Structure 1
Amino acid sequence: MELVPHNPTSGVYPATDDYVHAMEVRDPRRLLYLAGTMGLDQQGTPAATVEEQLELIWNNIRTILASADMTVDNIVRLTSYLRDPAYAEANARARVTALQGRAVPTTAIVAQTLDSSWLVEIEVIAAA
């Protein structure tokens, strides 16, 4: 599998350093679509702060990816659903840390979650 980022420098607004406009995935053998993953512990209890929830989210994502013999290096696209726009900076920091600075196409949306204690939810597409 080959990943080819597409980040045109003219004709479209510039991307920031932490994401790319598009990622071409050439010859993938497998695709994995992760449902929105929340900052819940193994008992289903949400962490108290957005930072703690983001830590749980990325641990949960790594666990789900591992069940498919993948890692965060296989992530080719992600969408974050934030309960409050004030969570955008913490979410971006957690993403950059989790992906070790690797840029992927990403979108952050402010949305009302089904449970008010769910502060962030992240949906992922991975390829191998």
Structure 2
Amino acid sequence: METVIHNPADGIYPATGDYVHAIEVRDARRTLYVSGTMGLDAAGVAGATFAEQLDLVWSNLRTILASAGMTVDNIVRITSYLRDASYAEANAAARMEALGGRAVPVTGIVVEHLADDWLVELEVIAAD
């Protein structure tokens, strides 16, 4: 699989270092669409803090990806659902750390989650 970043410079606002406007995926054999994944432990209990939930959500994503024979290197798109806009910076930092500094197309949405203690949910698309 080959990926090509598309960050047009004319006629649109510039992308920042933590995301790209688009990734073209060429010659992919498989695409994996991952449901919104929460910062919950194996018993379904939410981490007590936003940082703990970020650690859990990325651990959970790695587990899901591994079940399909993929890693975070296969992620080509992320949608973040945050309880509060103040979490955006920490979420972006965790994303960049989890992806080893690799920027992908992202969308961040502030939402009211189904449970009061859910602070973050990530939905990803991966390909290989």
Instruction: Tell me if TM exceeds 0.5.
Output: yes
- Paired residue for 1:49? 49
Q: What do the CA deviations read for 1:15-41 (whole angstroms, capped 9, x no partner)?
A: 001110000000110000000000000
User: 1:56-114 CA distances to partner (integer Å, 9 max, x unpaired)?
Assistant: 00000000000000000000000000000011111011001000100100011001101
Determine whether 1:18 maps to 2:18. Answer: yes
Show the 5 A alignment for 1:78-117: 78-117=78-117
**Aligned: 1:119 with 2:119:** yes
Task: Give me the whole-angstrom Cα distance separating, in 1, the residues matched to 2:5 and 2:62.
Answer: 23
Normalising by structure 2, we get a TM-score of 0.99
Structure 1 runs not aligned, ≥5 long: none
Amino acid at match of 2:21: H
Deviation of 1:50 (Å): 0.4
- The residue number in structure 1 matching 2:69 is 69
Report the secondary structure of 2:5's partner residue.
strand
Aligned residue type for 2:71: T
* Whole-angstrom distance in 1 between the partners of 2:22 and 2:11: 14
What is the rounded CA distance, in whole Å, between the counterparts of 1:4 and 1:102 in structure 2? 13
User: 2:79 is paired with a residue of what secondary structure?
Assistant: strand
The Cα shift of 1:10 comes to 1.1
Percent of aligned pairs with the same residue? Answer: 69
1:37 alignment partner in structure 2? 37
Task: Give the AA of the match of 2:40.
Answer: L
